[in-house]
Amino acid sequence: MNLEGKVAIVSGGAQGIGKAISLLLAKHGVKVVVNYNRSEKAANELVEEIKTLGGDALAVQADVSNFEQAKHLVDSAVSHFGTLNILVNNAGITDDALFLRMTEEQFDRVINTNLKGVFNLIKHASKTLLRAEQARVINISSISALTGNAGQVNYTAAKAGVIGMSKTLAREFASRNVTVNVIAPGLIETNMTKDLPQEILDKFMQTIPLKRFGKPEEIANAVLFLASDLANYITGQVIQVDGGLVI
């Protein structure tokens, strides 16, 4: 597993799952561009933590739902580190409501970040990735894309779209030895899941065979595997990291 000197962008990389991914990649020698939208303090603190550990990192502000800001993120990474080998599309938001109550603004906001944001970053990063050696695109979806989830038609639609986009790009990029894979987390201990009502959390717990929620580090482990040469022959796949929630 030789990732020394590789360069990665982790969108939404300052907190939660993104932070765990950024840290683990950095610990394995990857130069990490920590993207954030509003959490500047957390991003800068993470960059300092990585540097203290002997790694190299850069914090870049960008709203990935904005096409030009996404371009700025990719350009900043390539300008600072000279190349790009790994793109982790992790940035995501929720804005839940039952379908009959959901507004157009709620739908558009989640689709624009969680789906169009993935398109934006891959679009701008693709030229560099397709020239890089054994480049990787790793997209974070959700098990809700596989099952549906009441109150999250916007989120579920976006995350399902990420899977479809990834499978298509896996076919298109394969000739250039660029793999594209998806990780579908289950219930993970983050600020996002802490906002869910307790009755929903209790209901999910009853259906998880391993009888616990996942940790951000367990998603990061899957990202590390897919980013490494151990996953050279894996592309177009959806890896569920959900404790058996969806079997």
User: Residue ranges of the domains in the chain?
Assistant: 7-237
List, for residues 192-209, the tens digit of each pLDDT value. 677 778 887 888 889 999
Q: Round to whole Å and give the CA distance between 185 and 210.
A: 14
Residue 76 clears pLDDT 90, i.e. is over it: yes
Q: How confident is the model at residue 1 (pLDDT cuts 50, 70, 90)?
A: confident
List, for residues 128-167, the tens digit of each pLDDT value. 999 998 899 999 999 999 999 999 999 999 999 999 999 9
CATH architecture of 7-237: 3-Layer(aba) Sandwich (3.40)
Strand 57-61 and strand 86-89: pairing?
A: unpaired
**pTM for the structure as a whole:** 0.96
228-237 CB burial, b ≥16 within 10 A, e <16: beebeeebbe
Q: Give the C-alpha distances (Å, rounded to integers) separating 87 from 33, 70, 124, 141, 195.
A: 10, 12, 11, 14, 28
Percent of the chain at pLDDT > 90 equals 92
Catalytic residue among 36, 81, 107, 155: 155
Name the token pair of 244.
């058996």
**155 labelled catalytic:** yes
Confidence (pLDDT) at 203: 84
List, for residues 199-242, the tens digit of each pLDDT value. 878 888 899 999 999 999 999 999 999 999 999 999 999 999 99
For the chain, the distance separating the N- and C-terminal CA atoms, rounded to the nearest angstrom, is 29
